[in-house]
Amino acid sequence: MTTDQGQDDVTTTKALIVDEHAAHRSALSQLLAREDLHVHQAETFESASRIVQEDHFDIVIVDLGPAQPRGRAGLLLTEEIKKRAPTTQIVIVSEDQSVGLIVEAMHKGASDYIVKSDAFANQVAALVRKLSRRQSLRRSKIVCTIGLATDSEERLAQLLDAGMDVARLNFSHGEHAWHRLVCERLRRLSDQVAIMGDIQGPKIRIGRMQEDRTVFLDPGATFVLTSRPLEGDANIVSLDYPSLPQEVKPGHDLYLNDGLVALRVEEVIDGTDIVTRVLHGGPLTSRKGINAPRVQLSATVPTDKDRRDIELAVALDLDFLAVSFVTGAADLERVRGVVHEAGGHIPLISKIERAAAIDNYKEIMDASDGIMVARGDLAVEIPTEDVPYHQKDFIEQCNQAGVPVICATQMLESMTVSPVPTRAEVNDVFNAILDGADAVMLSAESASGAYPIETVQLMSRIVTNAEASLPPQEFDIRDTAGTPYFEVIGHGISTMVRHMDSRGDHISAIVAITREGYSARMLAKYRPGVPIIAATHDPRVARQLMLSRSVKPMLLDNTLADPSTVTQMAILQALREGRVRVDDIVLTASGSSWAPQSHTNFIGLFAVRDLLDSAS
């Protein structure tokens, strides 16, 4: 991506259109400008050559024209640009459909070749949109919570362009109709973004304040929490867990709004009203959470509300389901049972946010498809100063097991109201990547903040810089005594990448042919240091791989491919889509056609140019 001079930290994609027809250039330029690209034009190959010598472009569209001499000159321009700027993506447009010309264009460095038709301009615009999103080399993933600040189709498209990999729908807020609408918009915009539902669990929340206004609780004041339905003010507010008055005792401390407000229980009246004294005051708004660290709550996962939300998640075919307030593997078994009863199969992400989850972490991780370190509630349940240690420990255990892990809560919290984060927040995101997190998550920053798009853009840049600082991985520490053979293959491929690089033969990518995503995740466990292109025929598997670090899912074009040629087809498709280049060397991992029931059992080493030669 190119940085605008005079606008620090604002990245744009620059495109050059090379076409002798002014009307064609103008029409295509207008289409690309709608995609927020900075577009330049050149009438001749000679003028284009001068322009690319003076400026850098992320994408160049070259119209070869109908005449053979002009076509030859266009291919020479393509070759010149690739030599000067290897990362530039070049799209060839031509009326010529001959296989020989297409193969030669790829040899010269073209990323794709579009045959002219009535709709070719729209085809080019759609392709350029995809290419512009591919410019980032970021490997760790970004999860964005969707809220009223980002639920429009325009805002969702901006989040995708800024770097969102997984969209989170928080079922604690919003009606089912709203969640359906957001999900429909996301699916229309992209078939690649993953969508995660997040069930509330036995989370206790206060009710609605009068006119949804903010009230301030003063230290020493009396404040009542009641199970009676009413609109709240600075003296009393309802709560959505009617059993709490029977389960608290005088002397218990309750924390509101992620611990910003602290209350001490003084008495319970009529089994409905909890009378408290304000220990630490502050602002309070509708629907904020209540934490009761020393209270034995009778509520379990899933609640009745969770069951309704799980049915919605299954109906919407969501890619992940985050489970709040998990305390043990039994909670996950019950949730998984409800998912199955609803006719679905959704990977479960366990949110670690209770003290009991720390004691049972190993069994929770083993029963989960992923982990979220939810530091907000966790920091209320345990001493705040203990959270960083547990964060690092949880992430390391997930890395060891090959389980995707998300670091969440208040990562860039100040950007809910400010265009610039604190230095400590930048360090927090940076260090989460160094710790080994597969993904980092935004909550209020992207759901209700004033600068959601800018926050995602900045988080992407922080993550990319952190990845550039990662030390070499020690693969051996990922192994265990019972390491299965397909994990040994993951270790072996990562070792091959390292040794090939040490002798000057750089591996540019690993292409993994995967049915269910397991082989790609096991490759990711060993952090090979290069992109893992996970080629699959299943769109859902492709989306679910969006949570694993270094994995770049690719939906294979041909679902009827012969198993013996699917690897070659996958590499050629990766070439067409700009994921690899003609001069690259790639490693492949797949299952052989003569042992279809086996997991990954075949490793290949290919020069992309050799595959092009054999295809022609």
pLDDT top residue among 299 and 197: 197
Give the DSSP H/E element, type plus range, for residue 69: helix 68-84
- Give the pLDDT confidence score for residue 544 in this predicted structure: 97
Q: Whole-angstrom Cα distance, residue 134 to residue 192?
A: 13
Buried b (16+ CB within 10 A) or exposed e, 329-365: bebbebbbebbeebebebbbbbbbbbeebbebbeebb
Catalytic residues: 168, 205, 351, 409
Give the DSSP H/E element, type plus range, for residue 273: strand 273-280
Share of the chain above pLDDT 90, in %: 58
Q: Whole-angstrom Cα distance, residue 572 to residue 562?
A: 15
Q: 3.30.230.10, 1.10.1040.10, 3.90.850.10, 3.20.20.60: which CATH number matches 141-202+300-468?
A: 3.20.20.60
Tens of pLDDT, residue by residue over 32-78, are 887 667 899 999 999 999 998 888 888 899 998 765 555 678 889 99
CA neighbor of 11 nearest in space, from 430, 464, 458: 458
- Check whether 583 has a pLDDT greater than 90: no
DSSP code string of 291-342: E-TT------SS-HHHHHHHHHHHHTT-SEEEETT--SHHHHHHHHHHHHHT
CATH code that applies to domain 2-133: 3.40.50.2300
Tens of pLDDT, residue by residue over 141-183, are 999 999 999 999 999 999 998 899 999 999 999 999 999 999 9
Residue 212, beta-bridge partner list: none
- Check whether 121 has a pLDDT greater than 70: yes
Half-sphere exposure of 203 (CA within 13 A, CB side): 28
- Give the pLDDT confidence score for residue 476 in this predicted structure: 59
Share of the chain above pLDDT 70, in %: 89
Tens of pLDDT, residue by residue over 368-413, are 999 999 998 899 889 999 999 999 999 999 999 999 999 999 999 9
Tens of pLDDT, residue by residue over 213-229, are 999 999 999 999 999 99
CA quadruple 445, 451, 453, 456: dihedral, nearest 10: -40
Non-local CB neighbours of 564 within 8 Å, separated by 6+ positions: 593
- Give the pLDDT confidence score for residue 215 in this predicted structure: 96
Place of tokens 């189709």: 153
Q: What are the C-alpha distances in Å from 53 to residues 5, 81, 105? A: 18, 9, 21
Categorize the per-residue pLDDT at 2 as very low, low, confident or very high, splitting at 50, 70 and 90: very low
Non-local CB neighbours of 382 within 8 Å, separated by 6+ positions: 293, 355, 358, 390
- Whether domain 204-291 has CATH 2.40.33.10: yes
Strand order in the sheet with 289-291: 204-205, 289-291, 253-256, 261-269, 273-280, 222-226, 236-238
CATH architecture of 475-615: 3-Layer(aba) Sandwich (3.40)
Provide the mean pLDDT of the chain: 88
- Give the pLDDT confidence score for residue 478 in this predicted structure: 54
10 Å CB burial of residue 319 (0-12, 13-18, 19+) is buried
* 145 in Cβ contact with 441 (< 8 Å): yes
Q: Can you give the residue ranges of every domain in the chain?
A: 2-133, 141-202+300-468, 204-291, 475-615
CA neighbor of 322 nearest in space, from 435, 404, 380: 404
Non-local CB neighbours of 45 within 8 Å, separated by 6+ positions: 18, 70, 73, 74, 76, 77
Tokens for 341?
A: 């009863």
Place of tokens 């050559």: 49
269: DSSP letter: E
Place of tokens 């670090």: 549
Ranking 109-118, 214-223, 332-341, 522-531 by mean pLDDT, the lowest is 109-118
Q: Whole-angstrom Cα distance, residue 282 to residue 310?
A: 35
Taking residues 505-523, report their average pLDDT.
90
3-state secondary structure of 169: strand
Categorize the per-residue pLDDT at 560 as very low, low, confident or very high, splitting at 50, 70 and 90: low
Tokens for 253?
A: 């401390």
- Alpha helices in 323-422, H assignment, sequence order: 329-341, 355-359, 361-366, 375-381, 387-401
Place of tokens 């984060």: 421
- Give the pLDDT confidence score for residue 149 in this predicted structure: 97
- Give the pLDDT confidence score for residue 563 in this predicted structure: 56
SS3 content of the chain, % helix, strand, coil (to 5): 40, 25, 35
Categorize the per-residue pLDDT at 4 as very low, low, confident or very high, splitting at 50, 70 and 90: very low
- Check whether 597 has a pLDDT greater than 60: no
3-state secondary structure of 62: strand
| Same fold for the pair 141-202+300-468 and 475-615 | no
Categorize the per-residue pLDDT at 461 as very low, low, confident or very high, splitting at 50, 70 and 90: confident
Please tell me the pTM assigned to this model: 0.76
For 222-250, the three-class secondary structure string (H helix, E strand, C coil) is EEEEECCCCCECCCEEEECCCCHHHHCCC
- Check whether 487 has a pLDDT greater than 90: no
Question: Side chain identity at 498, as an amino acid letter?
Answer: R
